[in-house]
Amino acid sequence: MSGNEMTYIQDAFDTNWIAPLGPHVDAFEKELASYVGVNDAAAVSSGTAAIHLALRLLDVKSGDIVFCSSLTFVASANPIVYLGASPVFIDSEPETWNMSPQALEHALYDAIQDKKLPKAVIVVNLYGQSAKMDEIVAICQKFNIPIIEDAAESLGSTYKGKASGSFGKFGIYSFNGNKIISTSGGGMLVSNEGEELNKARFLATQARDYAAHYQHSQMGYNYRMSNVLAGIGRAQLEVLEERVSARRAIFNKYVQELAHVPGITFMPELPETRSNRWLTALTLDEREAGISVEALLSALAEQNIEARPVWKPLHMQPLFEGDKFYPHSDNENISEQLFKMGLCLPSGSSMSEDDQMRVIECIQESLIKAKSISV
């Protein structure tokens, strides 16, 4: 927390605006929309809820297909299944670790042959790095397919001077407890189409029709954010740029101390983009480094240092067994390579330099020990 959250929380209490509406909700929506350069935003209970609403607004239903990045958290794809549709997973490419335009185009040409185009493409900006949006937008425009940009991890990132999350018909952000700014739990759906977001707010408040009594002609959801949490979000948004600077500094320190080590390669940053470096992610080549990802994670855990593998690709998850997957090329499956070799290091905005050096030294010692054993 930044410290200013209590000012907004106290105001919510003093004015008795505790419910899932109120002046902080309205202000948070306007301030977030202004920050990312879109016309409107709707504050909701989670990033997952925002994706679900976006798919509803695009009339996704049973029997439809939706294309989705494979290398991501399951929340990117679960809402597709909520609506009875089927996901088709698209591989990553090596320059951003995000959706491969090459694989996307291949999948769309196959969909034309099958006479069943997707209702939407969900593009995920992994670990704060934007996907190749110019290429992806051009491909989707050619086929007239709307984009939902899952920017849950990339608030504060930019692509060619434009905010991550502002390229699609809809963009989504998450304010979960582990994100770069947090409302403890929450999300935001953004769009340049204000009427669409009014529909989202309607659906998010149980789709209550305009009437003095309680009347409902559509199925809705309890997805709106509370005025208290929105107040927290307003204070968090005020320090977002500081958080991005802190995360980037942490990333740069890891690079400074470890990039020269054989076998370690850090997640790239595409030219003309700024990643918020939500998590510092790297790949470890066991043949060059002399230690496996699993062994290094275990060594860190023994020192009470939490690190994790990168996301397990969704096309490898038991939940999605049997769903289609398009690799980057016939000979390259980038997301599976990244899962095999990737790990994420501690990257919290408030991480001290001493704590970071403890992580770095543990990695260095583990590498030295591994090499001495192999000799």
**Mean pLDDT, consecutive 10-residue segments, the chain of 375 residues?**
89 89 94 97 96 98 97 97 97 98 97 95 97 97 96 97 97 95 95 94 90 87 94 96 97 96 95 96 95 96 96 97 96 96 95 96 91 64
Same domain, 260 and 211: no
Domain co-membership, 197 together with 284: no
Number of structural domains (the chain) is: 2
Q: Return the exposure string of 306-339: e unless at least 16 CB atoms fall within 10 Å of the residue's CB, then b.
A: ebebbbbbbbeeeebeebbbbbbeeebbbbbbbb
Q: Are residues 53 and 34 in the same domain?
A: yes
**CA–CA distance, 237 with 62 (Å, rounded to integer):** 37
Residues 87 and 183 in one domain: yes
Same domain, 293 and 209: no
Q: Of 206, 240, 274, which marks where a domain is finished?
A: 240
177/268 same-domain check: no
Cα maximum dimension of the chain: 79
Q: Which residues contact 26 (CB under 8 A, 6 or more apart)?
A: none
> The domain spanning residue 336 has which CATH number?
3.90.1150.10
User: Which parts of the chain fold into alpha helices (H)?
Assistant: 5-14, 23-36, 47-57, 78-82, 101-113, 133-143, 194-204, 227-238, 240-258, 286-289, 293-302, 334-341, 353-374
| pLDDT at residue 374 in the model | 58
pTM: 0.94
Q: Are residues 100 and 90 in the same domain?
A: yes
User: Are 21 and 59 in a shared domain?
Assistant: yes
Residue ending a domain, choose from 240, 267, 288: 240
Residues 307 and 174 occupy one common structural domain: no
Going by C-alpha positions, the residue among 219, 243, 323, 341 that lies closest to residue 285 is 341
Residue-range definition of the domain harbouring residue 264: 241-374
- Give the model's pLDDT for residue 2: 84
pLDDT confidence of residue 209: 85
Residue 169's CATH number: 3.40.640.10
- Which 8-state DSSP code applies to residue 302? H
| CA atoms 75, 163, 255, 287: torsion sign | positive
Among 240, 265, 283, residue at a domain's last position? 240
* 131 and 191 in a common domain: yes
Are residues 245 and 235 both part of a single domain? no
- DSSP single-letter state for residue 250: H
Question: Are 211 and 257 members of one domain?
Answer: no
pLDDT at position 1 is 85
- Catalytic one among 119, 132, 169, 179? 179
- DSSP annotation of 189: E
Is residue 179 part of the annotated active site? The answer reads: yes
pLDDT at 125: 98
